[in-house]
Amino acid sequence: MKLFMVGASPYARKVRAVAVTLGIADRIELVIANPHERPPELVRHNPLSKVPTLVADDGTAIIDSLSICEYLAELVEGQSVIPFTPGEERRQILFRHDLAHGIMDCAVIRRVESLKAQEPDRADWMARQVATIGRVLDWFETSDRLDGPMTLDRLTLAAALGFLDFRFPDDGWREGRPRLADWYAEAAKLPALAETEPFA
């Protein structure tokens, strides 16, 4: 399999963290492709020109990080990253995944906006992202499901927090959130996170 990615993408990191957790990272060849440059080898598989994009061994493309994570999980019998059986447990994991994934969305918007010239409308838009990220972090701080096995939701949360540290190291998201800070300090030591640190 080939994974088109960039080193800074939190979405790609989520996929890689899942692959490490599933024990199949060695089956994935990493291909660095800047989606903003619309590289033909990426666009051929994914006309959206977004990373991550996975190309399976039979040439099938799987796009969007959640679909890729589910595909990878399908390859491993008895996996426990994401339950496939419809029901409460799957809904809860996907709910927390979607919240953590939302942190990524807001942080990526903020990063892109921060590279542009400052204008009042833009400052408002960025402040909204910061506020949304803060609300979701507060939600996780008080969640009674913070601790537990590294299922998709927790892997996504850890990748999102890693992206905040990578792009906004002065934000101080740990302040007032001691549970989340302690949880992340432990999560970051796991191979899934330690082996997939972001790079520019």
Ligand X SMILES: N[C@@H](CCC(=O)N[C@@H](CS)C(=O)NCC(=O)O)C(=O)O
By CB under 6 A, name the binding residues for ligand X: 9, 11, 35-36, 49-52, 64-65, 108
Shortest reach from residue 8's CB to ligand X, in Å: 7
Helix ranges (DSSP H) in 63-177 = 65-74, 88-114, 120-141, 152-167
Give the burial string for 93-131 (b: 16+ CB within 10 Å, else e): bbebbebbbbbbbbbbebbeeeeeeeeeeeeeebeebee
Output 151 or 156, the one with its CB closest to ligand X.
156
Tokens found for residue 127 = 């402040």
Shortest reach from residue 179's CB to ligand X, in Å: 26
Output 11 or 166, the one with its CB closest to ligand X.
11
- Alpha-carbon dihedral of residues 78, 80, 81, 83, nearest 10 degrees? 90
How far is 53 from 71, CA to CA, in rounded Å? 12
Output 30 or 108, the one with its CB closest to ligand X.
108
Shortest reach from residue 36's CB to ligand X, in Å: 6
Amino acid (one-letter) located at 79:
Q
Shortest reach from residue 65's CB to ligand X, in Å: 3
Shortest reach from residue 108's CB to ligand X, in Å: 5
Output 22 or 33, the one with its CB closest to ligand X.
33
Tokens found for residue 153 = 């939701």
The DSSP output letter for 118 is P
Tokens found for residue 1 = 């399999």
Output 109 or 181, the one with its CB closest to ligand X.
109
How far is 36 from 80, CA to CA, in rounded Å? 34
Output 49 or 129, the one with its CB closest to ligand X.
49
Tokens found for residue 100 = 């953590």
Shortest reach from residue 129's CB to ligand X, in Å: 14
